[in-house]
Structure 1
């Protein structure tokens, strides 16, 4: 199996068979042939051993094995390992692990930690890490520093995780909205129009979960406006129209729901078989399963 095929397969399987993927990661270091491959491997190790398993020490030990491979001397590989090790150590309770990092590495490690801690049902610590990362980023990061992307990913991932949490508490709902807003703000700094419109979609979804349909409609409309301004593919327009329809229905606007539902279904009809598999949940919500 090629390196890329292994990484793709592991991401697909990790949520349903986490322990098996962790074992595969520990036994597949021979697939690492270039320094450029290291960041993708490190991200997966930190995610699986950290957020999913809470096995901080085991994840750190696996990263140490990667550090021992004759692949380094490449800035991005070394950066990924520094950030990954610091995040795992921080989540394990070693706050001093962040102090030896430069500002950009510290922000990125905190952002990764925020998602991992929330995934281990340590939401308060996770949100504190996200706030600390945001505060430091505002003070020290350059406009195009890649750590903004780490913050954006953390915000979006935290928001999605909390949207899917059954029986959310008021504290969790507030955290969900704060995370989605962070994701949007950071993608506006660090991303393309595509990432910005997807962050608008995420915030609209979070607002719907918070039972704030009017605010959800505003962000859903922004999502669609960005799509139309950039002639986005039908795949993106489907989701934009779908969330706008759902927000309209939640707000009691039957005419707007019907109009945007029709637009969403028209976009859906243009999608490839590969794209269709991502649309099942939205289609069911629109009453078209």
Structure 2
């Protein structure tokens, strides 16, 4: 990753990471997506995570993995959704990332397992997510999280 630092400035990496992340959200919220939209959403989610991997902090890595998992869950692709949800949780635990990031790591695993049809895993991770939500400091963040969790 250090090779890429010399080619593109850190400022550009950060701008690209943010831009790709936000564009993925736009695509996720789109009511009707084409196959090209779905492909673009996958590529931009991975691109965002790549750029954060160069200039970001562990919380950015975690959120990037979460977003990739969410994309694959929305696209009904369980194997990569579970893989990236696990990476998200591993990063949170390794770096002591808590609050809504930890709750969303459990949410990602529940959602990915739902796509895979693993009912016991869904319930297990939903329970962990609900428990973790008690430690979300901001009420608005907690409410947003709980609303999202209820879509599983």
TM-score w.r.t. structure 2 length?
0.90
* Deviation at residue 138 of structure 1 after TM alignment: 7.9
In the other structure, the counterpart of 1:283 is: 149
Q: 1:154 is matched with which residue: 19, 40, 52?
A: 19
Q: 2:8 is matched with which residue: 141, 148, 163?
A: 141
Alignment partners' CA distance in 1, 2:92 and 2:7? 32
**Superposed counterparts of 1:87-236, under 5 Å:** 140-142=7-9, 145-236=10-101
* Deviation at residue 226 of structure 1 after TM alignment: 0.4
Q: Which runs of 4+ in 1 moved over 4 A?
A: none
Structure with higher RCO (Cα < 8 A, 6+ apart): 2
State the structure with more CA Rg: 1
Alignment partners' CA distance in 2, 1:233 and 1:140? 34
Alignment partners' CA distance in 2, 1:151 and 1:198? 15
Which shows bigger deviation, 217-226 or 227-236? 227-236
CA contact (8 A) 2:100 2:136 kept: yes
Alignment partners' CA distance in 1, 2:32 and 2:144? 25
TM-score w.r.t. structure 1 length?
0.49
Question: Cα distance 1:251–1:195, how it changes in 2: closer, same or farther (>3 A)?
Answer: same
Q: For residues 42-101 of structure 1, what are the alpha-carbon distances to aligned partners after superposition, in whole Å with 9 as ceiling and x for unaligned?
A: xxxxxxxxxxxxxxxxxxxxxxxxxxxxxxxxxxxxxxxxxxxxxxxxxxxxxxxxxxxx
